[in-house]
Structure 1
Amino acid sequence: MNLQTSNQRPPVLQPWYWTAPRMAVLMFVLALGTLLWLLHRQEIEEQRATLINDMLWVEQNLDFQLSRNQEQLQQLGQDYFGGELAGSKFDPHARSLLLNSPGMVQLLVLDDGGSLLRGAPGTASDDIGGVALRPEASQQAFRLSNSTGRPAFSPAYPVDGEYFFDLVVPHFRDGRLLGTIVASFSVRKLVAEQVPWWFAERYRLSVTDAGGAVLGSKSNLKAGRETLDYQIPFEPPGHGLLLTANAYSAATSLWRNLLSVVIIGLALAVLGSLWSLRRHIQRRLAAEQALSQEHAFRKAMEDSLFTGLRARDLEGRIIYVNPAFCRMTGFDAAELVNRLPPMPYWAPEEHEATQAAHRRSLAGQAPNEGVELRFQRKDGERFDALIYETPLIDAEGRHTGWMGSVVDITERKRAEDLARQQQEKLQFTARLVTMGEMASTLAHEINQPLSAISSYTTGCLNRLEAGDLPRDELREALGKLASQAQRAGRVIRRIYDFVRRSEPQRAPCEINAIVEDAVGLIEGDARKRGVKIRADLAGGLTPVLADRVMLEQVLLNLMRNGIDAMRTTPLAERQLFIRSDAANEGIEVSVADHGSGIAQEAVARLFEPFFSTKPEGMGMGLNICRSIVESHKGRMWVEANPEGGSVFRFVLPLA
């Protein structure tokens, strides 16, 4: 597997590629719409033709029925006025005519003056020739038929909310009017009884006047959206009446509907598939564009990184290096990829250490904090590298190798070495300054045992010259002389150990012994300033891994600062407390004074270089102390003393 990146960009789909399928779909939709429109128009025309045919049939049927009724009334008049239906023969004949004549609700026989002779059903006393008892429409038809000698239909007229029209048939003999037969028709019943059921299942048939008012109608359909309508004159009876048919729903062919559904379904399927294809291509283009951007972004990052990246498979073969790693080692990617150990950038003198680190890395035992190795460049120059190894996981979650980041720390180590040397010089200088500031006190400390030695020596010489010095007194005097010499030697040894220049040497140390030595060095200066040193040291403390002289320097600096802080404190309260005790993190040492304390705003800057709360201070003592403690992986801080003053604490880890 080779992870080297390529500069090839994915192809970009041009926008005009979509023109042809879009035009094809547009033409298909237009053709489909045109076809469906034509089919719809054809179906509407067929329905309209059917409606007209059905309407003409109904009109002819009504015309035939009314014409037949007219003939029957003429025959009835001839029979009645000819004497054939005299007496009781008229009523059965009239009832039969009413029953067999759709819409006919009343039958009247009038004489030549318009008076009622017979009537069915029942009789009436209305004078049809009168002025107010019959509707004006009926009177007009009566006068018209008598004047012309021909049957006449009256205009429609309402009675109790229902519309009627009359058929007036006059009868003449030898030019003389014998009488008139009047038949009344209900528009509602005529339509209801004469219009067949199949017509009512398809349409709503209405009889309307010239003003559009509905006089009667019939339909078995629920009211809905009107799709088709057709009107023809209703003659007879005429007088502006119209037959109107409304189609609320058009029955369509099952196969035509299925064809339309199939066509629409196919069109939707084509559109859906095209849209899905478009979405797929768009997602693919977006993914390719994102991949291209990620590729360019990663390439830019690789080219701008100063950290070397190196990928290896599970066998240790290099499968990828970035430009920074190539610049760091001086080798090209082609010289490193697919190489197995030993690598050309391994330093020969460090071969065993590098090979061991390589094996630990392949075994997954590389430390999280990284490993420092010494490599060589192609030109032979050595450099120090800090390497962090992490597992290389592929897209399927499989462990395929190891990814290492390599940092050139040559300059950093050189700077650290220089800083360490400067720090050691600064610490040495600080110790010399401390000794210089304590010179008078230390001279007094040394002068006391020397004076005692001189006194004991002079006394012994005088007694020896006098010849009266017993051996026991001489032995006692020599013992005191030796004790004072040892005292002076201890002071000189402490001074020598404190100020001598040496490499830091860390070893297990008893913290209480270091405290006692530091107290011994500064005790004379404390007495001179009236300060009492109180040591509260816990017994049985575990040793700490530390440099003895450095910790002694920390304690001396803290104790001197505490003594200086109590310059203005009353003599009775000038006490310096030094405590040692076990803590959760290791061993804690505290130095507490009863001075004036530290201002809150100064606490945050107290450990900064060149910051001091003393007018004559250089501001380096506490900074050095904190650096020493932190170099021992400890920590140092300051707190306010509840009894007044300050408490400096530091914690050191156990050895």
Structure 2
Amino acid sequence: MHSSVAPAGQAFARLRSLWQRWFLWLLLAMLVLVLLATVVWLAGRHEAEQMQVVLDHDTADALSELRGGLQRNAQSLNALLTETANAKRWPEMEATSQLRAHREWLRLEWRDAQLRLLAATDTPYRMRLFEQDARGAMQSDIALACTAASKLSAPAYSPSHYVSNSAGNGLEVLEICLPSEAGGYLVATYSLRDTLTELVGPTLRRGQEVIFSEPDGTRLASVGVARRTGNRVFTSQQLLDLPGVTLMFRVDGWRSEPDLFPNLLTALVTAVSIALVSVLVLLARDTRRRLKAERELADTLAFRKAMEDSVITGLRARDLQGRITYVNPAFCAMVGFTPEELIGTVEAPYWPTELAHEYQQRQDMRIGGSVPPRNGFESVYMRKDGARFPVLIFEAPLINAQGLQTGWMSAFVDLSEQRRIEEISRASQERLQASARLATVGEMASLLSHELTQPLAAIASYATGSLNLLGGQTDGASAELSMAMRRIGEQAERAGQVIRSVHDFVRRRDRTREPVAPQVLLDAVMPLVRLQAQKLGVRIDIVLEPALPQVLCDRTLVEQVLLNLTRNAMQAMDQPTITERVLLLRVASVPGRADPAPEARRWLEFAVADIGSGIDDAVARRLFTPFFTTRTDGMGLGLSLCRTVVEQHGGALLFEPNRPRGTVFRFTLPAIVIAPFELPAPALAADA
């Protein structure tokens, strides 16, 4: 049992192997046979199509020639009509001459306006076809043609009709009617068969049949060679549209069936097919080797692609004309453009507009053979959203397998994060340095406050002692001296308060705040402000709204803020080009922040305005930075300390351009409101 199954299985395996081996060859042989039959069939079809094209072209030329002949005949008839109308008689000799020249005409007739026959001349080449009484005025074909000619004021044709003769034969004819301006008609009778003979070239009739037929296919007249048995018919037909009648002009060509002409072609196709099979065998072997090499190459390319996609360094390749041929995903993510937007471009879209010309020159130098630096070079690129970012570029030539340079490969490192870290480090260093300087200033302020307290106390004591010594004297000099001593004592006490406030401010101790009227704050600083204003020639204008509430503040520190801002304003106007120097001090309630509720918090705004040269943008960005100053003798701490004092009171210190020139510094302080109040119209007080 087992011995009989094994040979059967082996035979089946051999048959399957044999079938698999020869299946493709059988399929190829069948395809070659189909190809050969298709080529022969296409050759015959091509020949038939060529014959049909030639016949269509000949038919169109013959129809054009026929139309031209009919038009020339109409012109000849028009000349005869003119001569007849001018002579008022029928020119028999001229009509006979025309009939001799145009054999397609059978008869020429002259008729009056009622289509009655006045005169007629028959062709000399045929026996008379028409009887006199058979061509009356009521003949329908002539009537139709002449009626159409009258409407068109041009020659018109009648429908074709059959005319028999006495011998029992007949002809298919049609008439052309020409109207006369003087009244009457000239009628010419055409023989359709003679028209084909005379007006169609003999070459078209040779080996073909030329036919006049109705549009429905009814044959009217024909000339040429009749169809032979065993031939293939090629037909071409076109409409002959004449005024009053439409005929079909048809040409039937007789051609023998195309031979299996390519006996040579068949042998050639067979030889080519055998050669094709041989080439396919060789190609199959070569294809196996190529498939193996392609698989290895695909693995290598996939490995390289994975490496290129995983790196964070941008890669870009350019050819020798500067066109981008390759970019990796890291480069696309770096500049924000897709590979489709970059590949093929010469002037890259990631070049900044202001640097595009410079980069183009650098690229031209690189294409010209300039060697890039080995350690790379820095540049600035632009992302798709317009943001600029620094990059470090390394370039190397691209060399192909033949050792020829095909372009340049560039590697890009985005330096944005490195620059950001460097900027953070630099800012941290600056903050540390500023903190160290502030600590030093704090220590100096503490030391100065400690060292100056005793001399100021001594000054106050000496002033008090001097007042005691002058207490009993009443003359004028003694009174003035007593006033000076009191002023010295007051300023010494004020200096002590300032030193104590600065000491508390530096040590960040809780400072005592008290309600103070805005007028009192201004009065406290005005003596010192007036002294500097008189020295610099500045006029001081004070605008103080009436019925203003008191502010809750550290009086000494706020007075120092006012004093610092007024001094800065007057120094800003200390320029030779400024002739009119005006300092404006204004105190008002903040508009839009007043709440009618009694318990609501109110704010007062203090403004110091000058008409100096103003503050430019570069200075404005760093105006409140500690230790930044535009004066050679300044420390750069005044405005920074003023802003800190105002913000510790809960307010804000701002500045803005003055109109028409100058700068306005504004700061707000919290007000104490006991009851609601209404603000009357502002009053202006001037103090110079």
Could you say which TM-score interval applies, normalised by the shorter chain?
0.3 to 0.5
Q: Which structure has the larger Rg?
A: 1
TM-score of the two chains, using structure 2 as the length reference: 0.33
TM-score of the two chains, using structure 1 as the length reference: 0.34
